[in-house]
């Protein structure tokens, strides 16, 4: 079994004086490696990368970091210009500018108190609050009254659960669309996402606890920008196989996240997915060392635009840079920064032999805890490959934190509970697959 500190490129440089050697011997084997992981997490989640979305060069900076890392590790590029990238276009709604929201003159905090619906339009206005009467869902008189009410200059407020019910009734749903702003009150945590279109209406999701009872008026200043045919990129490189280079193993992780929430807030996306991106880099570093090179070619892909609907992996499978039928196995890593209650493998039930191998390698107290198998799911970048007939696993860890698609998914609070064990497991898994 590999001691993780051996993975560091220049261990002696870090050690400095030889006297430190004694101290090192007493340290846990993975400490130095975890330092590197933490550094990667801190950089990718930093303000400088703006939530790795499509404004202020967020995705570009993350891609540049990955390409540089691939080059430094000695991975080979697929493109002649050695950029390590595969560009593709996407259209996505973004919020890179001004954002201020006040209820009865009281300012609410972006991220903590409210977020924007992904398709929200911008605007600058003060609007009276109109509360949706849920009787309109069931009683004809109340319904007629609501349908007759002018809403063009109003901010319509309703609980999220009621909103979902309104959407099942076309006439009511259509009427909601008239309001200047639509505010859904969310009783549990605020969970953000991305959309590929922008509507005229401003749409907010406000934490129920942050909404003042019987509030009368809201003021919104919001810049929304639809990025049309924005050029983003997948980042990829490979290590040629030593004796069977035509057989491929592929390791993937998306590096993008949800971007910004106005000028001063962003979604750091530490678990989602700097955890997987950093694991991919650790595996690339390990497998690039002469003693660990595999018989098969290993391809590493950092996908962009996963959060926008698996767009990077969909683009790749439509425009593959290697024959997909040569892929022996693909391993996708997304949300691997916890592990308090083990891990789950999507497609685990579809590939029992590989799942069994993973289980075998995971035995003992040094493992990642229980590993569960799931069936097919369109929930990360393995999916377009699975649909194209490529055998693939998507592995994520369970437990630990509740932060997900919100401003609390931070590097500092990501536990990395089973990270070192997972690295051991995955490096062995890939090595065994290439035997």
Binding site for Zn ion (CB under 5 A): 272, 307
Q: Closest residue (Cβ) to Zn ion?
A: 272
Minimum separation from the CB atom of position 30 to Zn ion (A): 26
Q: Measured between alpha carbons, how far is 86 from 318 in angstroms, rounded to an integer?
A: 12
Residue 405 CA to chain centroid, in angstroms? Answer: 8
Shorter beta-carbon distance to Zn ion: residue 83 or 408 = 408
Whether 267 and 409 have beta carbons less than 8 Å apart is answered as yes
* Cα–Cα distances in angstroms (integers) from residue 429 to residues 283, 355, 392, 422, in the given order: 11, 10, 13, 10
Whether 85 and 234 have beta carbons less than 8 Å apart is answered as yes
Q: Which of 112, 106, 114, 96 is nearest to 157 (CA)?
A: 114
Whether 221 and 275 have beta carbons less than 8 Å apart is answered as no
Minimum separation from the CB atom of position 5 to Zn ion (A): 31
Minimum separation from the CB atom of position 232 to Zn ion (A): 16
Q: Measured between alpha carbons, how far is 376 from 345 in angstroms, rounded to an integer?
A: 10
Shorter beta-carbon distance to Zn ion: residue 52 or 175 = 52
Minimum separation from the CB atom of position 362 to Zn ion (A): 25
Q: Which of 301, 191, 319 is nearest to 254 (CA)?
A: 301
Task: Count CA within 13 A, CB hemisphere, residue 220.
Answer: 29
Q: Cα-Cα-Cα-Cα dihedral of 9, 49, 338, 354, to 10°? A: -70
Shorter beta-carbon distance to Zn ion: residue 97 or 399 = 399
* Beta pairing class for 217-222 and 202-207: unpaired
Q: Could you give the strand order of the β-sheet that contains 106-107, starting from the edge strand earlier in sequence? A: 106-107, 99-103, 217-222, 123-131, 155-159, 181-186, 202-207, 114-116
- 333: its two tokens: 């890593």
């Amino acid at each position: 079994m590999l001691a993780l500190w051996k993975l560091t490129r220049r261990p002696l440089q870090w050690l400095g004086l030889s006297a430190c050697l004694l101290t090192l011997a007493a340290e846990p084997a993975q400490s130095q490696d975890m330092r590197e992981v933490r550094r990667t997490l801190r950089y990718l989640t930093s303000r400088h990368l703006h939530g790795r979305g499509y404004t202020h060069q967020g995705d570009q900076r993350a891609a540049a970091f990955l390409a540089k890392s691939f080059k430094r590790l000695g991975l080979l590029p697929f493109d002649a210009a050695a950029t390590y990238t595969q560009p593709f276009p996407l259209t996505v709604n973004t919020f890179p500018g001004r954002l201020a929201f006040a209820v009865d003159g009281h300012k609410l905090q972006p991220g903590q108190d409210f977020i924007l619906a992904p398709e929200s339009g911008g605007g600058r206005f003060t609007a009276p609050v109109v509360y949706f009467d849920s009787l309109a869902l069931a009683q004809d008189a109340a319904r007629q009254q609501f349908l007759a009410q002018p809403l063009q200059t109003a901010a319509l407020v309703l609980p999220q659960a009621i909103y979902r019910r309104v959407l099942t009734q076309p006439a009511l749903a259509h009427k909601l669309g008239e309001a200047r702003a639509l505010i859904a009150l969310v009783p549990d945590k605020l969970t953000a996402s991305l959309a590929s279109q922008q509507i005229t209406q401003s749409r907010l999701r406000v934490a129920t606890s942050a909404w003042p009872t019987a509030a009368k008026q809201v003021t919104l200043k919001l810049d929304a920008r639809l990025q049309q045919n924005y050029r983003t990129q997948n980042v990829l490189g490979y290590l040629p196989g030593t004796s069977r280079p035509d057989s491929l193993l592929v390791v993937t992780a998306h590096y993008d996240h949800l971007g910004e929430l106005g000028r001063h807030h962003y979604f750091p996306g530490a678990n989602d997915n700097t955890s997987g991106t950093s694991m991919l880099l650790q595996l690339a570093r390990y497998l690039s060392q002469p003693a660990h090179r595999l018989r098969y070619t290993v391809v590493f892909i950092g996908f962009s635009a996963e959060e926008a609907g698996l767009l990077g992996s969909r683009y790749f499978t439509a425009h593959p840079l290697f024959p997909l039928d040569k892929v022996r196995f693909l391993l996708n890593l997304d949300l691997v920064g916890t592990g308090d209650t083990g891990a789950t493998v999507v497609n685990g039930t579809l590939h029992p032999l590989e799942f069994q191998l993973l289980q075998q390698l995971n035995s003992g107290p040094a493992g990642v805890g229980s590993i569960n198998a799931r069936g097919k799911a369109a929930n990360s970048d393995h999916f377009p490959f699975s649909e194209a007939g490529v055998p693939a696993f998507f592995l994520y860890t369970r437990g630990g934190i509740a932060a997900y698609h919100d401003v609390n998914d931070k590097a500092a609070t990501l536990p990395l509970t089973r990270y070192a064990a997972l690295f051991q497991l995955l490096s062995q898994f890939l090595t065994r697959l290439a035997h």
